[in-house]
Structure 1
Amino acid sequence: MRKLRATLPFVASSSFSLLGNSIAGVVLPLVLLAKTGDALAAGALAIICAIPQVLAGVFGGALLDRFNRRDLSVVSDLISAASIAALPIIDATVGLSFGWFVVCGIVGAVGDIPGMTARDTLLPTVIEHDKLDLQRFMGVSQSIDNLVVIVGPAIASMGMGFLGAANTLWLTAALSFVAAMTTLFVPRAVGVPPKAGHIQGAGLVRTAVQSTKEGMRVLFKSDAVLRASVVLGMLIVIVMGSYQGMVLPVFFTQENAPTLLGYVLSAMSVGALVGSLGYAKFAYAMKRRTWYAVSFVGMAIGVAALGSLASYGVILAGAAMLGLFSGPVSALFGYFVYGLIPDEHRGAALGTQNSMLLVVAPIAVFATSIVIEIVGVGMTSLVLALGWIFLTAYALAMKAMREI
């Protein structure tokens, strides 16, 4: 039997971290809405935290091409745990306000973003260390992630019912700490980058600037398929981030049923689990172009149902269908990104990519909050669904993705 000495602790650590994030993803918007009563506040928080998140992504990418990636992942998870644990402590003592969310969000950015990039840079070397097939592993990895995300929103809903929303964040903090401890079981040699070295003082700033330039070059000039995967991934984050981070929380809050949000997100994850398991099993049974086209058409149908906000049943069905068809395309994009970025530039490229995602996502959430204030959540949802249809047409017409 093959010994997965690096893969098992890596997957376990990623799962613990993702479980904590999925719980926080449900709880944090509801806590913020409960404390401020203003949908615009959530969008403003995302914008305010965007700058430190981008800086953390840029500097983190530079560090990950110079220092041990496993060690940086551990440190990042510990910082994340501390930033989340501070919220229920503050709520129980002086009381949470918008300013406290900003402070904890900025501290959390220092941990969350480099930690996410560290895992991204570690994944291909972990697979290589244990001699696994990258394309099949991406399907398995997506399946595990989706299984974890199924559990997360359900735990969040139950936690809010028994503990209260703010105290449920203790679970996220604990899971981040466990993720850090589990990462220590990944062989340290796996985390050594090809250009390992020391950076001092102003050299870090200079290296970060060079890292960003190199990351942009790799992402957008080195390969057309890689460029298309990055662009499409960003567009998907814009639309889905607006739904998950603003439209659905506001809708269920207005309906006086905030706990239902967790079950809708769980339905999406169940669908994604089935889709990614199917891809892991039959990855080579169909052409990549077929997986790609079927996935985008299926997601468009799911978003149309979800975006209608017609009824809880329709929303649930749309979420499940969206998840089902997102599983294969997520695994496929992961395969392209991890497979086409050279190891020596992985920290720079993935750090730059994550930084860009951190720019567009909060801008999209903030813009969505403004539109909701002007035209209401129902019309905003329909506009996003229409945007997804245009995205589908764009994805199917892209020249770079016709011969994948």
Structure 2
Amino acid sequence: MSAPAAPPVRRPRLALGGLAVAHTMAQAGNTITIFATPFYVRAIGGSATDVGLATTAATLPVVLGGPLTGVLVDRIGYRRSSIAADVVSGLTVLAIAVLGSTDHLPLWGLLALLVASGLFDTPGQTARTVLLPSLARSSDVPLERAVGLVSGAERTAMLAAAPLGGVLVALVGPAQAFFVDAAFFAVSALLVTALVPRTVPAADHEGDQAQEAEEAEEEDGAGYWRQLADGARFVLTTPLLRNIALVVLVLNAFDTARLTVLLPLYALQELGGATAAGLISGALAGGSVAGAALFSAWGHRLPRRTLFVGAFVLTGGPLSAAFALGAQTIPLVAVAVATGLAAGMLNPLIGTLRLELAPQRMLARVQTLMVSIAWVGMPVGSLLAGVAADALDLRLLYAVIGVAYVLVALAPLTGGSWRQLSARRPTSPH
């Protein structure tokens, strides 16, 4: 027997806006965590390899914990999962701030706390993302526009938090910067508590409501591992989802290597320190905000396959070339703005595809599995970049990454299931 229909959301656009702002706050905390971590490792005498280890500790929990938490998010509920995850993530970064500020946080302790924070941060981000189809439908907003709004909110957080992270590291120290993280996570939890209703009607897919209801009823009695396996099977047997995840896996490894590990090292070696790295990261975020805004406004009209390939090429090629040529802060900032513009349109496109292709009953599972597959390359990229930077020239590393990035970005031109990128599934009004 199917569950009774959920009551309509009151003031749905306020709920959608509140969710976007909460996502912004959580992402701001994550940005400062990622930005401050390499400088904390350096401050306690760590090597480039140690920087890679710390960055790996921040990303590995997404790969390991993401799939395991997806089933729990589907079961517990999206709103509750978001709030609980923000509270726990805030407490872990607060521990980093307190222990680091009092010189009681060695490298192994930092790694442990970063792993704990990442494990709980993943279900929070997932829960906020999978609330979008329902809130978009209730608000009479195209899904592309809602995803673009939240993606733009993420980029806005990076725009503000990356330079803020640079300033905080330079003025008060990397350990003290983690106090700001805790505040951002607290605000995110409060916003979701206050503005997102406890019950949100499901955003059913047109034409498949009966099948969804039947499959959901069959799954009600299934155990945790069965539900997890069902989600994995769906992702791995859906060619377009699988191919997107694999391409993003490789390119995320390159992005993590060049922007999370190599950028701080390049800034220390070539640009004078953390402030320049913060400016470049902020320029990337600024371009991304504009790109997400463009996608939010016109994404439902743009040719998806062309956008997918072109945005990835522009994201990976020009900035890597600029670093390889030894560019200084001002030209790097200019190229970073253009790079962010491309990435800002790409991310909501991928997010929209993930939400469109997933059944309502397993939205969180599909989301976490897709993200986890895509993030598998991140810890590998971080670790290899740290080791390589101890042995090779930074400019050479950027050149190699740039060439490889563009070659992988051209994969959708090979045809096959990539042709389905142009198809749209009507999960929300247009």
TM over 0.5: yes
Is 1:267 matched up with 2:277?
no
Is 1:383 matched up with 2:400?
yes
1:378-404 C-alpha deviation (Å, 9 max, x unpaired): 222111111112112223334322351
Is 1:34 matched up with 2:59?
no
Aligned to 1:242: 257
Matches of 1:51 and 1:285 in 2, distance apart? 36
Q: CA deviation at 1:162?
A: 3.0
Q: Is the 8 A contact 1:275 1:325 kept in 2?
A: yes
- 1:188 aligned to which of 191, 194, 198: 198
Q: Is the 8 A contact 1:215 1:351 kept in 2?
A: no
1:266-308 C-alpha deviation (Å, 9 max, x unpaired): 1111222222222223335542233234323433442343442
Aligned to 2:306: 290
1:310-346 C-alpha deviation (Å, 9 max, x unpaired): 2223322332221111222222111111111111111
Aligned to 2:6: none
- 1:166 aligned to which of 170, 175, 183: 175
Matches of 2:86 and 2:12 in 1, distance apart? 26
Aligned to 2:242: 227
Say which SS state the counterpart of residue 190 (structure 1) adopts.
coil
Matches of 1:266 and 1:171 in 2, distance apart? 17
**What runs of 5+ residues in structure 2 fail to find an aligned partner?**
1-9, 204-212, 423-430
Aligned to 1:346: 363
CA gap of 1:284–1:81, structure 2 versus 1, over 3 A, is closer
CA gap of 1:281–1:176, structure 2 versus 1, over 3 A, is same
Is 1:216 matched up with 2:247?
no
Aligned to 2:341: 324
Q: Give aligned pairs, total.
A: 398
Is 1:303 matched up with 2:313?
no
Matches of 1:104 and 1:123 in 2, distance apart? 30
Query: Where do residues 75-94 of structure 1 align in structure 2 (5 Å cutoff)?
Result: 75-94=84-103
76-85 vs 2-11, which deviates more?
A: 2-11
Is 1:399 matched up with 2:416?
yes
Q: Is the 8 A contact 1:305 1:318 kept in 2?
A: no
1:124-151 C-alpha deviation (Å, 9 max, x unpaired): 2222232321022223332232222111
Matches of 2:32 and 2:411 in 1, distance apart? 33
CA gap of 1:32–1:211, structure 2 versus 1, over 3 A, is farther
Q: Is the 8 A contact 1:70 1:191 kept in 2?
A: no
- Paired letter, 2:267: F
Q: CA deviation at 1:363?
A: 1.3
Q: CA deviation at 1:43?
A: 2.1
Query: Where do residues 192-207 of structure 1 align in structure 2 (5 Å cutoff)?
Result: 207=224
Say which SS state the counterpart of residue 109 (structure 1) adopts.
helix
- Paired letter, 2:20: V
Is 1:15 matched up with 2:28?
no
State the TM-score, normalized to the length of structure 2: 0.84
Aligned to 1:133: 142
- Paired letter, 2:397: T
Is 1:146 matched up with 2:128?
no
1:70-117 C-alpha deviation (Å, 9 max, x unpaired): 111111101100110111211233432111112212321332122122
- 2:118 aligned to which of 105, 109, 112: 109
CA gap of 1:308–1:314, structure 2 versus 1, over 3 A, is farther
- Paired letter, 2:263: L
State the TM-score, normalized to the length of structure 1: 0.89
Matches of 1:305 and 1:74 in 2, distance apart? 41
Matches of 2:201 and 2:150 in 1, distance apart? 19
Matches of 1:128 and 1:385 in 2, distance apart? 40
327-336 vs 277-286, which deviates more?
A: 277-286
Matches of 1:301 and 1:42 in 2, distance apart? 25
CA gap of 1:54–1:148, structure 2 versus 1, over 3 A, is closer
Q: Is the 8 A contact 2:23 2:153 kept in 1?
A: no
Q: Is the 8 A contact 2:57 2:111 kept in 1?
A: yes
Name the % identity.
21
Aligned to 2:187: 178
Matches of 1:324 and 1:398 in 2, distance apart? 26
**What runs of 5+ residues in structure 1 fail to find an aligned partner?**
none
CA gap of 1:381–1:257, structure 2 versus 1, over 3 A, is same
- Paired letter, 1:381: Y
Aligned to 2:378: 361
Say which SS state the counterpart of residue 196 (structure 2) adopts.
coil
Q: CA deviation at 1:49?
A: 6.2
